[in-house]
């Protein structure tokens, strides 16, 4: 004979997935705001739903009385893992991204907006489609946690645990101008989009992007000693 408690618990777990689907969709939408058009919103939602269902069946209310608190970070992590798999850049392509970043930085300083893909293609003598792919990959990686960012193009020689790394990052940030600190705080810890940060700071999105990249370089240089 089926234990009524077990049956009730199974029903409860099934209902959890249905109940939190809107929250997962909202999470995917929020993340998509920070990603290039090439990333499919529906794929993000699908990855989130799949993880939600798995977690709903693993969940033990005796161990944790807040399902969303238990699941939220894991679902977001599954979406990030999906995005990491989209990063198919070769070593040569990573070099191209760095060249693109340098040209964009100089261009924004001069004209206060980013250059077109056609302009970059002409300057670098690379076809436009390759420029688009490199920029899209760079945009995707920019939403990753800051510890991923610091290891994207160069390895940090000083290997540290994630918690220790974040403490080191905070120490470096305290030495930087207030605006630079704010961009990192809003982007990585408050998870705002570049557009939202630009509105807060009353500057262009290009300027926010430029500050973000500049700070990441500074932090990487400090941590490498």
Q: Report pLDDT for 119.
A: 95
φ and ψ of 5, to 5 deg: -65, -45
pLDDT at 225 over 80: no
Q: Whole-angstrom Cα distance, residue 131 to residue 136?
A: 9
pLDDT at 162 over 70: no
What's the pLDDT band for 156 if we cut at 50, 70, 90?
A: very low
- Average pLDDT estimate for 33-59: 92
Q: How many C-beta neighbours within 10 Å does residue 190 have?
A: 12
Pick the CATH number of 142-225 from 3.30.2020.30, 1.20.120.720, 1.20.140.160, 2.40.160.40: 1.20.140.160
pTM for the predicted model, two decimal places: 0.74
Which CATH architecture describes the domain 4-85?
Answer: Orthogonal Bundle (1.10)
Does residue 152 or residue 148 have the better pLDDT?
148
CATH number 2.20.28 given to 88-140: no
Q: Report pLDDT for 157.
A: 45
Model confidence pLDDT, tens digit, residues 100-150: 988 988 898 888 888 999 999 999 999 999 999 888 888 888 888 877 777
- As a 3-state breakdown, the chain gives helix, strand, coil percent values, each rounded to 5, of 75, 0, 25
Looking at the chain, the domain(s) classified CATH 1.10.10 span 88-140
Q: Report pLDDT for 17.
A: 86
DSSP state of 116: P
- Average pLDDT estimate for 190-215: 89
Both tokens assigned to 29: 């939408």
* Alpha-carbon torsion angle 16, 22, 28, 29, nearest 10: -170
Q: Report pLDDT for 5.
A: 55
φ and ψ of 72, to 5 deg: -55, -55
Looking at the chain, the domain(s) classified CATH 1.20.140.160 span 142-225
Which of these, 22, 29, 20, lies nearest to 193 by C-alpha position?
29
């Amino acid at each position: 004979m089926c234990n009524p408690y077990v049956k009730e618990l199974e029903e409860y777990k099934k209902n959890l997935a249905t109940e939190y689907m809107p929250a997962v969709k909202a999470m995917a939408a929020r993340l998509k705001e920070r990603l290039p058009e090439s990333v499919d919103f529906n794929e993000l939602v699908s990855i989130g739903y799949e993880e939600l269902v798995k977690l709903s069946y693993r969940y033990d209310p005796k161990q944790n009385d807040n399902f969303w608190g238990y699941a939220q970070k894991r679902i977001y992590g599954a979406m990030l893992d999906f995005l990491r798999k989209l990063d198919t850049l070769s070593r040569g392509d990573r070099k191209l991204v760095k060249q693109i970043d340098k040209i964009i930085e100089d261009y924004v300083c001069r004209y206060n907006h980013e250059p077109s893909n056609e302009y970059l293609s002409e300057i670098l003598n690379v076809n436009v489609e390759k420029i688009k792919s490199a920029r899209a990959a760079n945009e995707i990686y920019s939403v990753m946690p800051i510890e991923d960012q610091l290891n994207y193009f160069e390895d940090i020689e000083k290997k540290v645990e994630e918690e220790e790394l974040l403490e080191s990052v905070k120490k470096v940030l305290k030495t930087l101008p207030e605006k630079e600190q704010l961009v990192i705080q809003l982007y990585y810890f408050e998870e705002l989009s570049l557009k939202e940060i630009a509105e807060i700071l009353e500057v262009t999105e290009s300027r926010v992007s430029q500050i973000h990249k500049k700070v990441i370089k500074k932090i990487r240089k400090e941590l490498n000693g």
